[in-house]
Chain A
Amino acid sequence: MTALTARVRVPARGVDAAVEVSSGATLVLLGPNGSGKSTVLEAVAGIVPGADARVTLDGTDAPRAPRDRRIGLLSQDDALFPTMSVRDNVAFGPRSRGLGRAAAREAADAWLARVGLDGLGDRRPGALSGGQARRVAIARALAAEPRVMLLDEPFAGLDVVVASEVRGLVAGLLTGVTAVVTTHDALDAHALADTVAVMEAGSVAESGTAAEVLTRPRTAFAARMGGRVLVEGTMRGGALEIAAGVRVPVGGGPGAGVRAGVTAHPGDVALALAAPVSGPAWVVDAVRGLEPRGDVVRVHGALLAADVPVEAAAGLEAGTPVWFGVPRGLEAYALTSGAAAR
Chain B
Amino acid sequence: MTGPRWLAPLAALGGLLVLLPLLGLVARVEWTDLWSLVTSQESLTALGLSLRTAAVATLATLALGVPLGFVLHGMRGPVRGLVRAVVLAPLVLPPVVGGLALLYAFGRRGLLGEELGGSVAFTTLAVVIAQTFVAMPFMVVSVESALAARSGRHEAIAGTLGASRTRVLTRVTLPALAPALATGAVLAFARALGEFGATLTFAGSLEGVTRTAPLEIYLVRETDPAAAAALSLVLVAVAIGVVALAYRPLRGAA
Identify the A interface with B (CB < 8 A). Answer: 42, 45-47, 65-73, 75, 77, 79, 81-84, 92-93, 96-97, 140-141, 144, 146
Contacts and interface: CB of A to CB of B under 8 A. Distances in A.
A83 B176 CA distance: 6
B178 A96 contact: no
A72 B164 CA distance: 15
Given A75-B153, A79-B154, A47 B160 contact: yes
Given A67-B164, A75-B153, A77-B153, A83 B159 contact: no
Given A81-B172, A83-B175, A96 B163 contact: yes
B176 A96 contact: no
A140 B161 contact: yes
10 tightest A-B CB contacts, nearest first: A83-B175, A66-B159, A96-B162, A47-B156, A93-B161, A96-B163, A79-B157, A144-B161, A73-B160, A97-B162
A146 B162 CA distance: 9
The bracket for how many chain B residues form the interface is 10 to 19
A65 B159 contact: yes
A144 B162 contact: yes
Contacts of A42: 156
B161 A72 contact: yes
12 contacts: A45-B156, A45-B160, A72-B161, A77-B153, A81-B154, A82-B176, A83-B178, A92-B158, A96-B158, A141-B160, A141-B161, A144-B160
A74 to B, nearest CB: 9
Given A75-B157, A83-B175, A84-B171, 19 more contacts: A42-B156, A45-B160, A65-B159, A67-B159, A71-B160, A73-B157, A75-B153, A79-B153, A79-B157, A81-B176, A82-B176, A83-B172, A83-B176, A84-B175, A92-B171, A97-B162, A141-B160, A141-B161, A144-B162
A289 B154 CA distance: 41
Contacts of A82: 176
Contacts of B160: 45-47, 66-67, 69, 71-73, 141, 144, 146
